[in-house]
Amino acid sequence: MLLSSCGSKMEFFLAASIHSFSLASFATLQEAKQPGYACVLANVLEAATWILSEPKFASDRAADIIAVSTSLLDALPTITSATERADDDDDMAMDVDVKDELDIDLQKQIMAAFDSNTKLLEHLVNALFTGTLSTNYSDPSGPSDAEVEAVGSICAFLHVMFSTLPLDVTMTALAYRTDIVPALWNFIKRCHENKRWPYFSKYISPLSVDAPGWLLPVSVFCPIYKYMLKIVDNEEFYEQEKPLSLKDLKALVLILKQALWQLLWIIPSHTSPSQKALPNPLGLKKMSIDSLKSQARNGLSELLTQLQDWNSRLPFTAESDFYSQEATSENFVSQAILGNTRASEIIKLAPFLAPFTIRVKIFTSQLANSKQSTASHSALTRHRFKIRRSRLLEDAFDQLSLLSEEDLKGPIRVSFVNEHGVEEAGIDGGGIFKDFMENITRAAFDVQYGLFKETVDHVLYPNPGSGLVHEQHLQYFHFLGSLLGKAMYEGILVDLPFATFFLSKLKEKSNFLNDLPSLDPELYRHLLFLKHYKGDLSDLELYFVIVNNEYGEQAEEELLPGGREMRVTNQNVITFIHLVANHRLNYQIRGQGRHFLRGFQKLIPKEWIDMFNEHEIQLLISGSLESLDIDDLRLNTNYSGGYHPDHEIIDMLWEVLKSFSSDNQKKFLKFVTGCSRGPLLGFEYLDPKFCIQRFSFLYIYVLYLFCWKIHLELLFNLELVSPAWRNMETVCPPRLLA
């Protein structure tokens, strides 16, 4: 047992521990792989918690405690936690192969020392930075030796800690109980502006020529700030500008983007075998250059992704600030399309470095390659289904659900059966299928059907109580996922506005507090009240439970095991807020989202959709709301039957189309293509091309009579037949009539 008497004895014990276990002794323990160092660490941390709470001891002992703890943590095997979030599993992947497992009681003792309730990390970081590192940008000169020493010491400690302990144990205290984010940002900005980075040679191996000095502070700054953004609210981020000002955020994006591009495109991922790895000055296994690169690479990518999400909600910087100029070159695009290249790896890890249009081109190329690879199968199998208009969704579900993945990728033809049971005449050249897709998506995603709900912003998300409405609700979600995937696979735009917190499920991402206003603004306001409450939260008698209410049925559910007995306090309120937001945004729709995703991924693999953020995915689904570019359509139109681009009648047609309202332009596009929205990259990518063909009046009259019976607009796709009109007055009415 650890001594627990007076302060002088605690101070003596800690001093004795630090003196007794030299760095050489730590190395010996590591080689022997004895459990003794774990016991020492547990005891040192317990003593440190008490000593650092006393200001008169804190500043003197902080550096010593960090030095000892860093070496002891480095000797430990990785400790995992069952509650650690799935999205953080790969954040701190290291190159250390430690196969020993600690005794479960030792693990609990060590993790308890770092728990936010103990305030160890809060006291440790603040004691080390007090009087040394500023959180305000007041000194534009480069950092002093004392600042470099403090940053190197704490960053080495945290880097090793992230590699050893579960993130959910340490991150809350670091992000919300310390000033480490603004302090490290101030340090990074000053180094960047002075073009002088320290090499922290005391803590890491001498850097090779291609290894930048910012690796260590950036590898620690990024995961902490990323974690903080999960629980930061809109008022803090945009109005109070905490923890960083919007001006600083713009500078941060530019600095981090440059650093990430350097790591991904210029600096090799791993040390060359020909280069002999130099030993770490302190013998720390988890402080290798390759592990620092890996952690910095992942941290930069994930933090910039989150900042781009914030920027998509309400811009604080130009969208182009996230792009790398080199990623717009033809060489980069061709390599990315080719695959198995450094450019394609960059698109996978950091797609935001390339503009949206570039990524859409890559996506379009991937679709084309997939269709080509399944062409032989499609040629042998033709699927034609009869769909009753009165039972559109049910018939489609019964028949299309039986198709295999390969069958779904092939052509599907549809014929409609009217209310009298008579099959409607016509040949589906693609237009009927497009019409079918628009109609079935409109019916299936209608809130009246019970599978989806609508937020206050009128966007769609899965109904958590769908199982109370439909017995086969999960099978329907699987079917609807494949339906949306088919629309995207065929380039068919459908008018379905989805909630961003649902679209994140297509990327297998979790949602956080800042996503909650769209779903439940009242709950969001209540959580913010708790977050900023100045009094004693335990007086409110809240517990770690939540009440679900679906169709009048109320059920209380624990947010954590034993949650009914766990009171919300000032120390654990951040965890409570995080769990409530997670329950509403992720847990309640986990089954629906999982089945929808399985159907969707039959046609659209995860790596394709991961190129886009949620707002961009919505554009892939529904296209832009902007009015049609008639000039672009004209530039990409084919003519036949005697018409040509400069024909008098053609000039009149385009003039009339330009004079149409936006709604009428969309109706025209719907008439000739089966879809009211144009391709994302313009009509150059419309397949097949839009064509205007010239016919005689007699032909048009006969065609009109035929159309009146069987809805010609559904039979022929992308072709407008026109007689030789003589003036503007005769052109306009027939087009409007159509």
What pairs with residue 412 in β-bridges?
Answer: 383
Q: 462: part of which helix (H) or strand (E)?
A: strand 460-462
**Position 567 pLDDT exceeds 60:** yes
Crossing angle of helices 215-229 and 289-313, rounded to 10°: 40
Give tens-digit pLDDT for 706-728. 454 444 443 344 455 555 555 54
Q: pLDDT higher for 618 or 119? A: 618
**Position 182 pLDDT exceeds 80:** yes
pLDDT band at 79 (very low <50, low <70, confident <90, very high): confident
CATH class entry, domain 376-504+614-622:
alpha beta
**Position 663 pLDDT exceeds 90:** no
* Cβ neighbours of residue 102 closer than 8 Å, sequence gap 6 or more: 35, 38, 76, 77, 79, 110
CATH, range 513-592:
3.30.2160.10
| pLDDT of the residue at 300 | 97
DSSP states of 625-690: -SPP-HHHHHHTEEEETT--TT-HHHHHHHHHHHHS-HHHHHHHHHHHHS-SS--TT-GGG-SSPE
- 3-class DSSP state of 488: helix
Could you tell me the residue ranges of all domains in the chain? 30-81+102-269+283-322, 330-368, 376-504+614-622, 513-592, 630-716
Give the closest residue to 284 by CA, choosing from 54, 76, 5, 515.
Answer: 76
Q: Are strands 452-454 and 545-550 parallel, antiparallel or unpaired?
A: unpaired
CA distance 44 to 52: 12
Q: pLDDT higher for 59 or 655? A: 655
Domain 630-716 CATH superfamily? Hect, E3 ligase catalytic domain (3.30.2410.10)
pLDDT band at 91 (very low <50, low <70, confident <90, very high): very low
CA 344 to chain centre: 18
| pLDDT of the residue at 97 | 40
| pLDDT of the residue at 170 | 84
**0.85 exceeded by the pTM?**
no
| pLDDT of the residue at 309 | 94
Q: pLDDT higher for 633 or 56? A: 633
Do the Cβ atoms of 315 and 359 come closer than 8 Å?
Answer: no
CA distance 417 to 386: 7
Place of tokens 């922290």: 200
**Position 705 pLDDT exceeds 60:** no
**Position 7 pLDDT exceeds 50:** no
Direct distance between the N- and C-terminal alpha carbons of the chain, in angstroms, rounded to an integer: 88
Give tens-digit pLDDT for 268-305. 665 555 555 556 666 788 888 888 999 999 999 999 99
Top mean pLDDT of 99-108, 264-273, 456-465, 681-690 is at 456-465
